[in-house]
A and B are shown apart, each in its own frame.
Chain A
């Protein structure tokens, strides 16, 4: 009685331009900072064009660096001068202000609506110029240019690639049960630039970024059954990738972007892991067990999958080769409930939902040493997702009974929450690096 649905293509309901500004941005609050943050001065960028400065790039840079927890940007009112060029910096002043580094820059007007964003990073102690570059931008991309400056500063001073110029996807829910409406939302990693890319009265869940960031796979119940859709973000063109009878869930892109791992129940009601080749719709069944097998996540080499299974009683994390009938290895033992694994960008660890002291929290397991730790202290934390540089994890949490997003640094030192001004937000997934 299997009903296999042929892939079909539609335009997303809300016009081919695909996106719609619909709701206010997320508000970020840093709830726990690090006491080892590096003091840095981000001076307001110079501007010698006509009229007021079109955008405060330095403010974006400072906010990004502050959110990382690794830096403590100086308050502007404490700055005694506002240099825009290297020869204007009085290093002695900044040494007295106890700033280790200083970032200066200029917004240079070009053709209509075009700018060059120039920035330089200096070591205050030595006076040495550490880096500098020039980024071309339009008015609409000045914000994103700010994130790229922050990325450059972060990488030059920490040795780790910055992930500020990235995006997140999440699900937003309005209304109260049993009547709710659901939106699939994309925003910048700082919660700005919010766009709704799919919406409706039936649940939307489990968004997953393609490795190149051009598409999202997600589950929608719009046909009153679960089905997996793949939507191209630029055009809004949407394909139904999996519409078998029963559950179609938990899509996860393979590292080469050609396959989706997913969970299907087919007719017998038992969830197993499958791999769907997007080009020809061919399906490989990876697990065959009467338990619930779901929430696959790819290993970096695309050769194996981490997943949740309750084959030993409660849900635990397992690993299997990404092929038919492969052997399965159990990885987690520390709690009665471990689910939804996500793989760190360098695969040295996995993060997952763990039952810890009566609360569902985000745990991490070091894959080499086998030691695990709990990173959060909520009661209903779920859906962890790594930033592409591995420094932060975004996850879903609850504040006063309302769904919010939260971010924790993988060293546990920094925490922040991102709340919408209305409704609930959940299931955040961090997109890949922009290029």
Chain B
């Protein structure tokens, strides 16, 4: 089943995902991000301290999202799974805040089927992530896509476990 992600659907999906605050972050094979820089607690009012603690927690959460740089996909699909909406939104926020930053969105597929068709599918996945980031205010000039199809698997293997790890878009900061 071919699924071209509609922009409207993406916006809805991302907004929904963002509303679900505190949903458990996905387990990932990516290395954990370095802890968010914590500032020395200034000796001020309790209200300010609480606000700063909340801010630190928010930053830590953001760093955890940004540490995830691989978006995985279902077989022969290019729509973004709900658990990745927050991750993509975090990267888009980072890009929007730093207009000089650029990323490559590298689309990949598993090994099944025809190679050039898989190039098309990898490109569709990369474009799916690109469009989601554009909707979150990343700039068009900050996003570059490339599809490797099945040519650059992340892991070896010829079973569903390996295939699931190879169907992906990698977010690569330049």
Contacts and interface: CB of A to CB of B under 8 A. Distances in A.
**Do chains A and B stick together as partners?**
yes
Interface of A: 176-178, 180, 203, 205-206, 221, 224-226, 246-247, 249-250, 263, 265, 268-271, 290-292, 294-295, 308, 310, 313-315, 337, 339-340, 353, 355, 360, 380, 382-383, 398, 401, 427
A181 to B, nearest CB: 12
Interface in B1-18: 1-2, 4
Contacts of A177: 152-156
Contacts of B72: none
Interface stretch (B23-31, B92-100, B120-128): B120-128
A315 B145 contact: no
A180 B156 CA distance: 11
A340 B148 contact: no
Given A249-B116, A295-B114, A314-B2, A178 B123 contact: no
Contacts of B157: 401
A247 B119 contact: yes
A247 B120 CA distance: 8
Q: Which of B116, B145, B155, B158 has the most CB of A within 10 A?
A: B116
A250 B116 contact: yes
B120 A292 contact: yes
Interface string B113-142: 111110111011011001000000000000
B123 A246 contact: yes
Nearest to B155: A177
A271 B114 contact: no
B148 A265 contact: no
A374 to B, nearest CB: 15
A294 B120 CA distance: 8
Given A246-B145, A250-B116, A308-B117, A291 B127 contact: no
Given A177-B152, A292-B121, A206 B115 contact: yes
A12 B156 CA distance: 31
Contacts of A337: 113
Given A294-B117, A380-B158, A269 B151 contact: no
Nearest to B115: A205
19 contacts: A205-B116, A206-B116, A247-B120, A249-B120, A250-B119, A265-B123, A265-B147, A269-B127, A269-B130, A271-B123, A294-B117, A295-B117, A308-B116, A315-B114, A315-B117, A337-B113, A340-B114, A360-B113, A427-B115
Most buried by A among B123, B124, B156, B157: B123
B152 A294 contact: no
Nearest to A263: B116
B112 interface: yes
Given A313-B2, A380-B112, A380-B158, A292 B124 contact: yes
Chain A interface mostly: loop
A249 to B, nearest CB: 5
Contacts of B2: 291-292, 310, 313-314
B119 A226 contact: yes
Contacts of A205: 115-116, 149, 151
A184 B17 CA distance: 45
Given A180-B152, A225-B146, A247-B123, 17 more contacts: A177-B154, A178-B154, A246-B145, A247-B147, A250-B119, A269-B124, A292-B121, A294-B117, A308-B114, A314-B1, A314-B2, A315-B117, A337-B113, A353-B113, A353-B114, A360-B112, A383-B115
B111 interface: yes
Given A247-B123, A271-B120, A314-B1, A203 B152 contact: yes
Contacts of B123: 246-247, 265, 269, 271
9 smallest beta-carbon distances between A and B, as pairs: A269-B127, A292-B120, A203-B151, A339-B114, A340-B114, A177-B153, A250-B116, A271-B120, A353-B114
A228 to B, nearest CB: 12
B119 A294 contact: yes
A270 B120 CA distance: 8
A294 B147 contact: no
Nearest to B120: A292
Nearest to A225: B146
Interface in B27-82: 76
Contacts of B152: 177-178, 180, 203
A205 B119 CA distance: 11
B102 to A, nearest CB: 13
Contacts of A247: 119-120, 123, 147
Contacts of B104: 224
Given A247-B123, A271-B123, A401-B158, A340 B151 contact: no
A206 B127 CA distance: 23
A226 B2 CA distance: 24
Contacts of B130: 269
A372 to B, nearest CB: 16
Contacts of A295: 114, 116-117
A269 B145 contact: yes
Contacts of B113: 315, 337, 339, 353, 355, 360, 382
B135 to A, nearest CB: 15
Contacts of B116: 205-206, 249-250, 263, 294-295, 308, 340
Contacts of A290: 4
A60 to B, nearest CB: 33
A177 B155 CA distance: 5
